[in-house]
Amino acid sequence: MFQNRTEALALALPAAVFAAVVFLVPVALLLSEGFKTADGWTIQAYIDFFSMPLNQAVFLRTLKLGLTVTLAAAVIGYAAAYAIVTLPASSKGKMIGLVVLPLMISPVARTYAWIVILGRTGIINQALSAVGLTDGPVRILFTETAVFIGLLQLFLPLMIISLISALENLPRDAVPAARVLGANWFQVFWKVILPLSREGLIVGGTLVFTGSLTAYITPAILGGSKVLMLETLLYQQVTVANNFVSASIIALILIAMSFAANILLRRIASARSAK
Amino acid sequence: MTQKLYTWSILSLVLIFLIGPFFIIVAASFSAGDTLAFPPQGFSVKWILKVFTVESFQQSFVTSMILAIGGTLTALILGIPAAYAMSRYKLPGAEIVRFMVSMPIIVPGIIVGLALLRYFVIPLGISISLALFIAHTALVLPYAVRVVSASLNNLRSDMEEAAVLLGSSRAGAFFRVVLPNIRGGILAAFILGFVTSFNQVPVSLFLSGPGVRTLPIDMLGYMEIVFDPSIAALSSLLAFLSIGIVFAAERFLGFSRYV
Amino acid sequence: MTLKTLLCAATALTLSAGFAQAQDKTLTISAYAFAQDEFSEILYKPFEEKCGCKVVVETGNSVERLAKLEANKDNPVIDMAVMSTADAMAASRNGLIDTVDTSKLTNFDKLYDVAKDPNGDGMSVGYTFYATSIVYRTDKMKIDSWADLLKDDIAPHIAFPNITTNQGAPALYMLGKALGSDNPDLQVPIDAVSKKAGDIVTFYVKSSQLVQLMQQEEIWAAPIGRFSWAPFTKLDLPLAWATPKEGQTGGMNVMVVTKGSKNRDLALEFMDYWLSTEVQTKLATALVDSPANSEVKVSDEVANNITYGAETAKSLTLLPASVSLDNRDAWLAEWNAKVGQ
């Protein structure tokens, strides 16, 4: 560890100052617009914003989709990550590569594919009617389900990778040992796997939740104007209504939700490990 | 045996979900029909060829390349010293620095774009291209700092301390001892930053102007007008480009160790 | 590749991009994003050769571009723009555009009368107009009236234009007429649509998407502008263009000159070229834009696919720009409160 403070600051400051000037300042200015009126500072705009049923509905929908996508990603993520870490080293690397692969593909393209898959004549509907589960085609496109599926596919890899790096540190025989001692799978997960992988869950959960809140293309294309989310509402407010106050309010809500998610996940994780 | 069955059934389901859509896109690129459909109607390469004839794609491809390469390099130039300071020095306010450089991950991109447009581009008369460049640099900065930090933390610090004790300057020790050892981490950060910037949509949504548009924004705009398989073809081409880069990096450097 | 090579490559690219922009005479225009390849071929490139200048195009939808004009008010980047009549009126009220000096437009007299000064303020010139009606599957339904769209067995198979699009308000207006209300506050049709909002497949923002949705049988009918009709005819489906008993609606797109533009004369020269019989004929034949120039003659086949001729233009029930503009905020609020959720 070097002790020279001036040198340390000289090295770190350019990045910090850059982030502050081009990032924090304009974003802070934008956020301040929601509180500013001709006669001073007020939260009236926020009261007005939340008193509109459309805004309430959009807010709740965004929260709901963010939470369900994160939850689903965590469940599938654990199953997949656990399966991957138990693989022999050679296939592990390949499998991680395949999981990361979608991250390299433009989200525009990935979302585009779902239009074909989820359509009335798409593969899902063909499969459903072939199996005899449905009488006629089910409407999936332009519903919350479509947005949910699109977001989950977009962000699941982030959860899996985060959990893999956490589970790698799991002692190899911890799970078999717990099983031999009579623990069921639920207990194994709750008492052994979760406490040891909480860092990964926090990182993955935050990434998935924040990602779901701030995705633009997926709700825009798969949801359309019938499934507005905060991000698409923000874009509409700026381009159509020229309403920067609403935009500023939505921005603050989105940032606050990301922070809240991060803090909440930390809480949950530390509460578990404290026991 | 049940363990194996569990492993493979879970993994095949997850992979079908994650990669399946990509195959649809690739299949649609070779369709002979005029719309995106699966299974594709006939086989032809006309949509692949069409991609190369759309002029705006060429322009926005160059714009996106410059942004992704230039922005990531700038982010690395800013980020490597910061990561070094945080891992090797007692940095006053290290937490604040860490927080500042990681902000761009938490703040939604659309807000960054809008804020830059409203408070930089319009009042200060900064050009859209510069604003885009700044925004993409800021966006990549957190990844640069995080990946390089991880790579620095894996490198024992006694080597460079020894070099300093043996009379090398601190800068000399950094360039001769540290840098060669974190090369892989830097390249990993570069690839991650490049991909992030290249595929970025929300930040660029508001930051487009006459003659300045990134490729994903151009693709979205094109989709608003034409819904033929050429977008699928372009997407496949770009995907294979990214996969090629990452595969090469993994092959020669063990990329996944750093991410 | 080492970092150094990459750095050099990036620098080289940045420099070359800088040089490409440093041409002395540049006309910057703002246009609709559709058919840019055709526009480039028919309009931009020939004009660039003619004037020895460079044409830079910014694209987006009408409202988006208006917002940008407003944002860059004090230091206009755009010299000339095309937009809807309502947006042109909004721009004129906000002092963003200038009077068009029609004496400099040699092709001005050839225009249909409705296109000469659509808003009556001398601030815009129409270059194309279009009919808006309903495209539908003849094997699935019969459309005789705008109100048919909301029938129980039809509504679950339609896409309706969002209020934020240029087709939204006109389509609602016609729906209102079919339901017996002529009121421009559009309360009656918005109410009617809101009751079926759950059934309607989507409220579309991008009309091109409809081709895909039609092909996937996601929808069987949708109100569209005639300019998006051509791709539907290529689908292997029994599709028809409805002639509802309330008539068809439509709209006009106009050209405006930005206030404070440094290239005013060049912009006028460009507009004149765009209005010329030659360019308008080519754009019509490519099924891009219906002509506003009355001297344009096209084949019957082309005429069938565009909105052609003075008679057609006169028969359209158009919402006046001032009505659209004055009611726009109220419509959006009403729509968001009733349909948007």
Q: Where are the alpha helices (DSSP H) in A86-170?
A: 89-100, 107-118, 123-131, 144-167
Supply the pLDDT for residue C246.
94
Q: Where are the alpha helices (DSSP H) in chain B?
A: 2-29, 46-53, 55-88, 94-106, 109-116, 122-124, 128-154, 158-165, 170-173, 179-181, 183-199, 202-206, 215-225, 230-253
C254: enclosing H helix or E strand: strand C249-258
B11 touching A, CB under 8 A? yes
Average pLDDT, rounded, for chain B: 84
Mean pLDDT across B243-256 = 70
Look up the CATH number of the domain holding residue C48. 3.40.190.10
Overall size of chain C counted in residues: 341
Supply the pLDDT for residue A160.
93
**Is residue C123 located within the same domain as residue C232?**
no
Mutate to test the interface with A, among B1, B7, B72, B77 (most CBs of A within 10 A): B7
Supply the pLDDT for residue B55.
78
Q: What is the pLDDT of residues B171-220, one digit of tens each?
A: 888 888 888 888 888 888 888 899 889 988 888 888 877 778 889 888 88
Can you tell me the distance from the alpha carbon of C149 to that of C200, in angstroms, rounded to the nearest whole number?
A: 10
Mutate to test the interface with C, among A108, A226, A232 (most CBs of C within 10 A): A226
Supply the pLDDT for residue B44.
87
Residue C161 maps to a domain: yes
**Is residue C205 located within the same domain as residue C331?**
yes
pLDDT(C208) > 50: yes
Can you tell me the distance from the alpha carbon of C86 to that of B28, in angstroms, rounded to the nearest whole number?
A: 40
C75 touching B, CB under 8 A? yes
pLDDT(C67) > 80: no
Whether residue C34 and residue B70 make contact (CB cut-off 8 A), yes or no, is: no
Mutate to test the interface with A, among C84, C158, C201, C207 (most CBs of A within 10 A): C201
Report helix, strand or coil for C224.
strand
Long-range contacts of B170-173 (CB under 8 A, 24+ apart): B170/A2, B170/A7
Domain membership of residue C142 as a residue range: 130-250+320-338
C251: enclosing H helix or E strand: strand C249-258
Can you tell me the distance from the alpha carbon of A23 to that of C36, in angstroms, rounded to the nearest whole number?
A: 34
Tell the residue number behind the tokens 């151009």, with chain if given.
B218
Partner chains of A (3+ C-beta pairs under 8 Å): B, C
Residue C123 maps to a domain: yes
B114 touching C, CB under 8 A? no
pLDDT(A66) > 80: yes
Q: What is the pLDDT of residues A159-209, one digit of tens each?
A: 998 898 888 877 777 777 887 888 887 888 888 888 888 888 888 998 899
User: Could you give the number of structural domains in chain C?
Assistant: 2
Supply the pLDDT for residue C7.
46
End-to-end Cα, chain A, rounded Å? 35
Supply the pLDDT for residue A272.
56
- Please state, as a whole number, how many other Cβ atoms lie within 10 Å of the Cβ of residue B32: 13
Supply the pLDDT for residue C19.
41
pLDDT(C5) > 60: no
Supply the pLDDT for residue C103.
93
- Between A49-53, A238-242, C26-30, the lowest mean confidence (pLDDT) is in A238-242
Whether residue B227 and residue C10 make contact (CB cut-off 8 A), yes or no, is: no
Q: What is the pLDDT of residues C152-175, one digit of tens each?
A: 999 999 999 999 888 999 999 999
Task: Find out whether B10 and A79 touch, Cβ atoms under 8 Å.
Answer: yes
Strand partners, C240: C136
**Is residue C241 located within the same domain as residue C260?**
no
Can you tell me the distance from the alpha carbon of B31 to that of B33, in angstroms, rounded to the nearest whole number?
A: 5
**Is residue C211 located within the same domain as residue C332?**
yes
**Is residue C97 located within the same domain as residue C121?**
yes
- Those residues whose C-beta lies under 8 Å from the C-beta of residue C5, and which sit 6 or more positions away, are none
Supply the pLDDT for residue C13.
45
Confidence band for A271, pLDDT divided at 50, 70 and 90 = low
Partner chains of C (3+ C-beta pairs under 8 Å): A, B
Supply the pLDDT for residue A182.
80
Confidence band for C17, pLDDT divided at 50, 70 and 90 = very low
Supply the pLDDT for residue A115.
85
Q: What is the pLDDT of residues C240-296, one digit of tens each?
A: 999 999 999 999 999 999 998 889 999 999 999 999 999 999 999 988 899 999 999
Task: Find out whether A209 and A67 touch, Cβ atoms under 8 Å.
Answer: yes
**Is residue C224 located within the same domain as residue C269?**
no
**Is residue C213 located within the same domain as residue C163?**
yes
Task: Find out whether C111 and C293 touch, Cβ atoms under 8 Å.
Answer: yes
Task: Give Cα separations from C107 to B139, C265, C271, C279 (angstroms).
Answer: 50, 15, 9, 11
Report helix, strand or coil for A263.
helix
Mean pLDDT across C26-49 = 88
**Domains, in order of start, for chain A:** 52-274 (1.10.3720.10)
Dihedral sign from CA coordinates of C306, C312, C316, C322: positive
> What is the token pair recorded at A156?
């699941």
C64 touching A, CB under 8 A? yes
| Cα Rg of chain B (Å, integer) | 22
Residue C104 maps to a domain: yes
| CA-angle at B44, arms to B43 and B46, nearest 5° | 155
**Is residue C105 located within the same domain as residue C178?**
no
pLDDT(B224) > 60: yes
- Between B42-51, B55-64, B215-224, the lowest mean confidence (pLDDT) is in B215-224
pLDDT(C63) > 70: no
Supply the pLDDT for residue B65.
93
Can you tell me the distance from the alpha carbon of C160 to that of A240, in angstroms, rounded to the nearest whole number?
A: 18
- Please identify among residues 150-209 of chain A the ones whose CB lies closer than 8 Å to any CB of chain C: none
Measure CB to CB from residue C64 to each of A57, A120, A239 and give the nearest one.
A239
pLDDT(A51) > 80: yes
CA atoms within 13 A on the CB side of B66: 22
pLDDT(C71) > 80: no
Mean pLDDT across C87-96 = 90
Residue C14 maps to a domain: no
Confidence band for C9, pLDDT divided at 50, 70 and 90 = very low
- Between A268-272, C48-52, C123-127, the lowest mean confidence (pLDDT) is in A268-272
A97 touching C, CB under 8 A? no
Residue C12 maps to a domain: no
Average pLDDT, rounded, for chain A: 86
**Is residue C201 located within the same domain as residue C168?**
yes
**Cβ neighbours of A226 in C, within 8 Å:** 197, 200, 202-203
Supply the pLDDT for residue C110.
94
**Is residue C143 located within the same domain as residue C237?**
yes
Task: Give Cα separations from B220 to A207, B63, B215, C58, C91 (angstroms).
Answer: 24, 15, 9, 14, 26
**Is residue C239 located within the same domain as residue C93?**
no
Can you tell me the distance from the alpha carbon of C291 to that of C269, in angstroms, rounded to the nearest whole number?
A: 18
Highest mean pLDDT: which of A125-129, C42-46, C66-70? C42-46
**Cβ neighbours of C216 in B, within 8 Å:** 37
**Domains, in order of start, for chain B:** 1-44 (no CATH), 47-257 (1.10.3720.10)
Q: What is the pLDDT of residues B100-143, one digit of tens each?
A: 888 887 788 888 888 888 888 777 878 888 989 999 999 999 98
Can you tell me the distance from the alpha carbon of C253 to that of C104, in angstroms, rounded to the nearest whole number?
A: 20
Report helix, strand or coil for B44.
coil
Residue C241 maps to a domain: yes
> What is the token pair recorded at B117?
């447009």
- Between A106-115, C47-56, C233-242, C290-299, the lowest mean confidence (pLDDT) is in A106-115
Q: What is the pLDDT of residues C220-241, one digit of tens each?
A: 999 999 888 888 888 889 999 9
Task: Find out whether A86 and B2 touch, Cβ atoms under 8 Å.
Answer: no
Confidence band for B257, pLDDT divided at 50, 70 and 90 = low
Can you tell me the distance from the alpha carbon of B249 to that of B25, in angstroms, rounded to the nearest whole number?
A: 25
Q: B39: cis peptide before it, omega within 30°?
A: yes
Q: What is the pLDDT of residues A215-261, one digit of tens each?
A: 888 998 899 888 999 998 888 888 777 788 888 999 999 999 988 88
Residue C1 maps to a domain: no
> What is the token pair recorded at A172?
């190899």
Mean pLDDT across B14-22 = 92
Burial A146-182 (b: 16+ CB within 10 A, else e): bbbbbbbbbbbbbbbbbbbbbbeebeeeebeebeeee
**Is residue C243 located within the same domain as residue C289?**
no
Supply the pLDDT for residue C62.
63
pLDDT(C20) > 70: no
Task: Give Cα separations from B227 to A269, B48, B239 (angstroms).
Answer: 46, 15, 19
For residue B201, give the amino acid letter.
V
Mean pLDDT across A23-44 = 87
Residue C42 maps to a domain: yes
Confidence band for A103, pLDDT divided at 50, 70 and 90 = confident
Can you tell me the distance from the alpha carbon of A219 to that of A149, in angstroms, rounded to the nearest whole number?
A: 11
Confidence band for C61, pLDDT divided at 50, 70 and 90 = low
Whether residue A225 and residue C202 make contact (CB cut-off 8 A), yes or no, is: yes
Percent of chain A residues past pLDDT 90, beyond the cut: 29
More confidently predicted of B130 and B157: B130
More confidently predicted of A150 and A92: A150
pLDDT(A262) > 90: no
